[in-house]
A and B are shown apart, each in its own frame.
Chain A
Amino acid sequence: NAGVTQTPKFQVLKTGQSMTLQCAQDMNHEYMSWYRQDPGMGLRLIHYSVGAGITDQGEVPNGYNVSRSTTEDFPLRLLSAAPSQTSVYFCASSPGGGETQYFGPGTRLLVL
């Protein structure tokens, strides 16, 4: 099993550009989530999904969209990138909410 995979590993954007961060898992987990990690702030939940077709907002959802059309994939879309979105983004999956989470390797995003 590959576990949780994320692409790209690193991305540079200009302010106002849009992009999609990809996340996929092959463990048949129902629960998937996106976090951002900033120095001194720890991991903060952006959006999460409890199953295909169901998504909800986390602590810091503004500027991000998600969808969950399949159990395996959970892409994160930045609609109009801002420098404040410079961060490291982690996708995670778990069998259910509140259970052990399995994290991807992260995407480092720099918005100029």
Chain B
Amino acid sequence: SQKIEQNSEALNIQEGKTATLTCNYTNYSPAYLQWYRQDPGRGPVFLLLIRENEKEKRKERLKVTFDTTLKQSLFHITASQPADSATYLCAPHNYGQNFVFGPGTRLSVLP
């Protein structure tokens, strides 16, 4: 069955540094991978989608990579700010299939 792992349950970094979150998946070949942000007590919010033929996608301070050979996606937040503190979820998927979300990484950016 599909399995998704995210590098660590929690990640603490200093403000201004780059945060790197990892999403690894096994037992399937997704054509897309999405990243979501979830704040405490709220539902997840979509951030970025990357396709299998796109090696990298950027949006403001966010950058996502997608390596289908390694079965891995990296999510980077550059110049991190305390407001970036949240849980980040990855969801590799194929069009028309149900989503399977990773367990999430709780990021804390310390001032």
Contact = CB atoms under 8 A, between A and B. Distances in A.
B4 to A, nearest CB: 8
B103 A98 contact: no
A42 B101 contact: yes
B40 to A, nearest CB: 11
A104 B98 CA distance: 17
Interface in A53-112: 58, 90, 92, 96-106
Contact of B41 (A4, A33, A106): A106
Contact of B97 (A4, A35, A42, A98): A98
A42 B103 contact: yes
Interface residues of B, number: 23
Contacts of B49: 100
A97 B97 contact: yes
Nearest to A90: B43
A87 to B, nearest CB: 14
A33 B98 contact: yes
Nearest to A98: B95
B98 A48 contact: yes
Contacts of B95: 96-99
A104 B43 contact: yes
Given A98-B94, A99-B95, 15 more contacts: A4-B43, A42-B89, A42-B101, A42-B104, A43-B101, A45-B99, A45-B100, A48-B98, A90-B43, A98-B95, A98-B98, A101-B99, A102-B46, A103-B44, A106-B41
Give the 8 A-B residue pairs with the shortest CB-CB distance, closest first.
A103-B43, A42-B103, A98-B95, A43-B101, A97-B96, A100-B46, A103-B44, A98-B93
Interface of A: 4, 33, 35, 40-43, 45, 48, 58, 90, 92, 96-106
